[in-house]
Structure 1
């Protein structure tokens, strides 16, 4: 990563963690834990890249970076409760350390801080953008669980679902950030589309790594989505490749296997029907589209390098 984004993110992080302190000892203790085990800060980085590619990041840009990161972290905390996940980024989750009741409330606290920060932008359109993203995010998460229970997810459903549950916040990040430095609707729209395509690609990558990644590299258990019966693109392609009664027979067969054998059989079938290659091709297509969205902006080489590092660098 180049020095300019590293310096800007270092400044951002200092202010971000200071802003989410509450004066309540327990909350602030958890904030320190989050600070110690922070994530990649992808959304704040995209917010800063977006603004600087159009003009120059300002205080409102940093507010956008803060509020989207608050929402992202809040959703992760709630997701870990729903998924009964005990490891994230190689460390015990908030719900593992402080149990579910406190975790729910801390997630709610971060959502409320994000809302307060959004209001301070002083722009009803920005509130509408964020509200829409939050609505899509929640519906996408619930839809995924619903279809996993039904064991039914078409490819069209899948792309609509990941657009909602993952890409919506990336899209809102870039759209809101663009709005902090320009009123040019064409430029704002370009970054909105960029965020959408970037987010879809990011979820496909995550789905691929759930199958091929190792626990130590992922910072969470490998095959986590498969173990929860989530229907991701590699598996959907595999199921779509089964002819006649093969799909029903395969699903029935899985019920008779132990959890460990079940995962091995699913991965075997995914490889047999080139599910990973199919997903990688889709991933590459969305990466190409995301780059097209910013192709008209001069000096976009740093953002292009960032995209390549996210998708083709180490997990």
Structure 2
């Protein structure tokens, strides 16, 4: 599989320009804010979401200034949600670095998240990008609803496959869907094409989250510590499948371990072993590939081009990664 730098070659110049614009979009007259946003920019990820915006615009008519603003909007709002999530989750690390709340405490982290959110809103309003703002605002609403739905279900350990898919559709897939829809809208695509790209992104987002959930039950060092979801009492697809195919007594025993012994490494290892031995990982892999294939079916309705190939490679990188 090509590396991320190879994948983004067709849009490399746009990504470079985006990074400069994204930096400038976070500028403030408050020195403390500038220090924190500089810290955020220096520890940015692989720019997967902006890449989805740019590739989607490219196959739907072409990249323009509106596309750059759409990519910045998505990244600003996404970064704001990550900063807030770390506060909510009491998390002190993000991608191996200290989180904002770890370095500057919760109050400042919440205010920084609010600042990034407002900068995204103003970027769209000042440039009359109301359709892009509508698309991304809908995603943020769904992400909040998905988080709350998960909290509600986790408390009661009341999660089946339909509920699981609804949670990850809202929590994760809605943002990638908004990236693809924003790209299409910025390029002047019609409603039908925008919706087609939104659905494409949603399927990729679901496949991405299933893959991420599989790492919790892996046996190799994949960059994500094993059992993190179990410790947080998250019932994910591999575990749901295994519980649904276990004897009643075994199901009750495993649920009890997840509920009451989720901080015991030996019990966590027992749950992981249970999922591996009962086919939970294999089932999740099958479902992940199903959503990936459905996304490719949508992508293949567009004419062949370097951008379509780049988008296909980006999908594979996102859903077939090892960490």
- Asked if residue 268 in structure 1 is aligned to residue 273 in structure 2, the reply is yes
Displacement of 1:20 in angstroms is 0.8
Corresponding residue SS for 1:212: coil
What is the aligned residue count?
Answer: 313
CA deviation map 1:150-186 (0-9, x unaligned) = 1111100000110001111111121122111124222
Q: Which residue in the other structure is 1:239 paired with?
A: 243
Q: Please, which runs of 5 or more residues in structure 1 have no aligned partner?
A: none
Displacement of 1:296 in angstroms is 1.5
Cα distance 1:258–1:135, how it changes in 2: closer, same or farther (>3 A)?
A: closer
- Asked if residue 309 in structure 1 is aligned to residue 314 in structure 2, the reply is no
Write the distance in 2 (CA, Å) between the matches of 1:252 and 1:287: 34
Q: Is the 8 A contact 1:74 1:106 kept in 2?
A: yes
Cα distance 1:126–1:306, how it changes in 2: closer, same or farther (>3 A)?
A: closer
Match of 2:57 among 42, 47, 51: 51
TM-score, reference length from structure 1: 0.93
Cα distance 1:258–1:166, how it changes in 2: closer, same or farther (>3 A)?
A: closer
Q: Which residue in the other structure is 1:192 paired with?
A: 198
TM-score, reference length from structure 2: 0.91
- Asked if residue 134 in structure 1 is aligned to residue 146 in structure 2, the reply is no
Q: Is the 8 A contact 1:168 1:199 kept in 2?
A: yes
Q: Which residue in the other structure is 1:230 paired with?
A: 234
Cα distance 1:63–1:266, how it changes in 2: closer, same or farther (>3 A)?
A: same
Q: Please, which runs of 5 or more residues in structure 2 have no aligned partner?
A: 1-5
Cα distance 1:26–1:211, how it changes in 2: closer, same or farther (>3 A)?
A: farther
- Asked if residue 21 in structure 1 is aligned to residue 27 in structure 2, the reply is yes
Corresponding residue SS for 2:217: helix
Displacement of 1:109 in angstroms is 0.9
Write the distance in 2 (CA, Å) between the matches of 1:94 and 1:246: 42
Cα distance 1:313–1:121, how it changes in 2: closer, same or farther (>3 A)?
A: same
Q: Is the 8 A contact 1:87 1:221 kept in 2?
A: no
- Asked if residue 280 in structure 1 is aligned to residue 285 in structure 2, the reply is yes
RMSD: 1.9
